[in-house]
Amino acid sequence: MAKPSTTTPSNSSSAPTAESLWVGAHLSVAGGLHLAVEEAKALHFGGLQVFTRNQRVWVTPPLEADEVTAFRAACASSVFEERGRIVSHNSYLVNLASPDDAARAKSIDCECAELERCEQLGIAASVAHPGAHLGTPRKPKDPNDLLSEPTADELGGLRRIAASIDAIHARLRGYKVRIALETTTGSGTNLGYAFRHLAIIRELVKAPERVAFCIDTCHIVSSGYAHATAKDADRTLAAFDEICGLQHVAVMHMNDSEALPASRRDLHAHIGHGTCGKPIFTAVMQHPKLARVPKTLETEKGDTPNGKPWDLVNAQALLAMAKKLPLARASKLACMLFAVSLLVGCTGQWFKRTQVTKAGQPVVLRTEPTVDEADVLIAADRAMAHEDYDTALRLFRDLLNDNPTLSPAYLGMGQALMAEGDPQRAETAFARAVKLTPASFASQFGHAEVLSVLGRFSDSIDAFRRALSIRPMDFATNLALAKTYLEIDQSSNALIFARKAAEIDPTSAAAQVQLAEAWTKAGNGSEAVRAYETAIELAEPSKELLLALVQAYGAEKRFEEAVNTAQALLLIAPDANAAERLGWARFRLGRFEEALAAYEQALTIDPNHWPSLNGVGVLKLNVWIKSEKKLDAARHEARAAFQQSLMINGDQPKVTAVLIKYRLSDDPR
């Protein structure tokens, strides 16, 4: 291994880089593990997270010798030769806290297999979610108690995790790779939302030196830890240091959050586009104890409207928070104009003059901003970044009062009006921008988006195609066209653009999801499943993605895989829909008692979940019919479930037909 540098970014006079600050991302291993390393090197990243295996299955084939050789060769003579810069993320199926002995044994086997692969590859740590205790769930709106000792259910789960880790360590004696337990949001019965949980596990295991931690910025904010100010963020990291020890952190997950703070929801967002705020990222980037810890992004792949990869944009946002650099006076104008170009997504088309004639007199239409106008545009952009849309709109209007042909102001106004939820007025602003500068990609793309929101899908498709004529290889436009064609049930056209988007960015989970939806509409279930599976390999699976995959497996009668996926979904984001789909898949496999347990779990989460009431009704109806209609209790339970379902959702003709067919509304004879 290369000898690590002892110079930290905080005392370096040079500008911080992703390599020097260990900033990177979770990258795809499609085509081979070594390709993720090659991509990280091409992006000049200094950190990397990968899936070393298929995340959707319990058992995976061992690594081939040539895979290991290619991976280690890719790391050689680069920053990734230094141990600790690369981590893996284990399967979401694993639940080391499960009270079920058989399920926990499968999880131990799966974790061992992952650590064996990491040991072969020279990966220093493997991230694992601590697990869910599966006892009494809290209501989704109940806040996390971050200060109290664990409840009895939680403590039992923490002890099972520690015992599971001891079993893993006993099986893998002498291994150097560490398990990195990740902070969580506390959804469902998931453990790890409180720093104390992680500390307890490490205290309980017999070989604590083999246990590390992973802090996810999105998770700790959604869990409820303070983050809004610099003092809040510093206090939160200090609390982790006191309780767990920052020296034991093996990896940081750098994600913003779409969810509200303390919401217990796990929804990742691009840096600066969520609710985490700048202080928590700044605190991490400037903390000396975290200087030599990989800081990996787990945000959505793809390109910005300006054609720049989101991973690079997010990484640069983090680097900007690592060190405050003075702005040279001589470069102020260049910086302002660059900021304006980011605001409007221009490619030079704003900077021109057009001569027209008005009332017989020549008039110059100036579509580019002056230095003073650029200042105002930047101020408006800052106001929008802080969601102060009234101020932004006022600034845009002031500019247009002085210069009614300033295209960037119309474009900014359209964006602000969209953010305020006023698509009608936004469309007018975007249309004006398009009229002034028809060769502007940003104007055409923004106009297309607002037309789609207004339900004017044919007009939206025309506008997207005009944007595509300017940038034929733009990822976002191809993806948007696929989505819009699906809105008007043109699956064949949707497939063309979804495939194109996937070709432009093979690492985009969003493109694969769109492709899967197009294949589903086209009636090709097997291709839909393949695309959903690829999406899950490319990014951390969301609740919506896993639910869609459960549906796709079911449509293809692959019910065992549907059960496994639904179980993983319940661990990640427990809700009534996930439990109901688990019950449905178990029912199709003839595992009726397990199906009933899943439906009842769904109703515990949401007593008014009518699809689960229907599931209970069908199961009880089957019991009554199989008893030759002698078990009146089962008949009563079926009737009660169906009637309650109809009270919640009266528009269910099939349920009404079942009640009539089996005379469930009648009194029993």
Query: Catalytic: 129?
Result: yes
Query: Catalytic: 216?
Result: yes
> Of the listed 268, 287, 609, 635, which one is catalytic?
268
Instruction: For residue 540, name the pLDDT band (cuts at 50, 70, 90).
Output: confident
Torsion (CA) 353, 357, 359, 364 in degrees, nearest 10 = 10
Instruction: For residue 138, name the pLDDT band (cuts at 50, 70, 90).
Output: confident
> Of the listed 298, 303, 311, 373, which one is catalytic?
298
Query: Lowest-pLDDT range, 5-19, 428-442, 485-499?
Result: 5-19
Query: What is the mean predicted confidence (pLDDT) over 447-474?
Result: 93
Per-residue pLDDT, 126: 98
Per-residue pLDDT, 350: 34
CA-wise closest residue to 548 among 587, 521, 588, 586: 521
615 pLDDT more than 90 = yes
Give backbone dihedrals phi and psi of 26, rounded to 5 degrees, phi first: -80, 120
pLDDT per residue over 388-406, tens digit each?
Answer: 889 989 999 999 988 888 8
Could you tell me which residue, 128 or 668, shows the higher pLDDT?
128
Q: How far is Cα 272 from Cα 297, in angstroms, rounded to an integer?
A: 13
Burial of 493 (0-12, 13-18, 19+ CB in 10 A): middle
- Collapse the DSSP code of 267 into the 3-class scheme (helix H, G, I; strand E, B; otherwise coil) and give the result: coil
Q: In sequence order, which ranges of 55-182 are alpha helices (DSSP H)?
A: 65-75, 101-121, 152-171
Residues of the chain with CATH 1.25.40.10: 336-456
> Of the listed 56, 85, 160, 248, which one is catalytic?
56
Query: Catalytic: 92?
Result: yes
For residue 584, CA distances in Å to 135, 399, 647 come to: 22, 58, 22
> Of the listed 85, 104, 129, 471, which one is catalytic?
129
Give backbone dihedrals phi and psi of 48, rounded to 5 degrees, phi first: -155, 140
Query: Lowest-pLDDT range, 155-164, 289-298, 338-347, 564-573?
Result: 338-347
Return the top range by mean pLDDT from 60-64, 205-209, 568-572: 205-209
Per-residue pLDDT, 18: 93
Query: Catalytic: 56?
Result: yes
Q: How far is Cα 276 from Cα 570, in angstroms, rounded to an integer?
A: 25
Please, what sign has the CA dihedral across residues 324, 326, 332, 334? negative
Query: Catalytic: 489?
Result: no
> Of the listed 253, 264, 292, 635, which one is catalytic?
253
Give backbone dihedrals phi and psi of 363, rounded to 5 degrees, phi first: -130, 135
Query: Catalytic: 636?
Result: no
- Collapse the DSSP code of 264 into the 3-class scheme (helix H, G, I; strand E, B; otherwise coil) and give the result: coil
Look over the chain and give the mean of its residue pLDDT values, rounded to a whole number: 88
361 pLDDT more than 70 = no
Burial of 5 (0-12, 13-18, 19+ CB in 10 A): exposed
- Residue 212: CB atoms within 10 A of its CB come to 27
> Of the listed 34, 53, 82, 92, which one is catalytic?
92
> Of the listed 19, 111, 153, 216, which one is catalytic?
216
- Collapse the DSSP code of 214 into the 3-class scheme (helix H, G, I; strand E, B; otherwise coil) and give the result: strand
For residue 577, CA distances in Å to 219, 351, 543, 600, 637 come to: 22, 52, 10, 12, 22
Return the exposure string of 607-624: e unless at least 16 CB atoms fall within 10 Å of the residue's CB, then b: eebbbbbbbbbbbbbebb
> Of the listed 39, 67, 182, 311, which one is catalytic?
182
- 336-456 has which CATH code? 1.25.40.10
% of residues, the chain, pLDDT over 70 = 90
Query: Catalytic: 227?
Result: no
Per-residue pLDDT, 112: 97
512 pLDDT more than 60 = yes
Structural tokens at position 11: 């005392």
% of residues, the chain, pLDDT over 90 = 70
Query: Catalytic: 234?
Result: no
pLDDT per residue over 558-600, tens digit each?
Answer: 999 999 999 988 887 788 998 999 999 999 999 999 999 999 9
Structural tokens at position 493: 């056209």
> Of the listed 104, 117, 202, 219, which one is catalytic?
219
Query: Catalytic: 89?
Result: yes
Could you tell me which residue, 292 or 7, shows the higher pLDDT?
292
State whether CATH 3.20.20.220 applies to domain 15-320. Answer: no
Per-residue pLDDT, 362: 44
Query: For the packed helices 423-436 and 441-453, what is the interaxial angle rounded to 10 degrees?
Result: 150
- Collapse the DSSP code of 251 into the 3-class scheme (helix H, G, I; strand E, B; otherwise coil) and give the result: strand
Query: Catalytic: 609?
Result: no
12 pLDDT more than 80 = no
Structural tokens at position 454: 């207004």
Query: What is the mean predicted confidence (pLDDT) over 509-536?
Result: 92
Per-residue pLDDT, 666: 62
CA-wise closest residue to 112 among 59, 33, 44, 41: 59
pLDDT per residue over 633-642, tens digit each?
Answer: 999 999 999 9
Per-residue pLDDT, 5: 38
Per-residue pLDDT, 353: 37
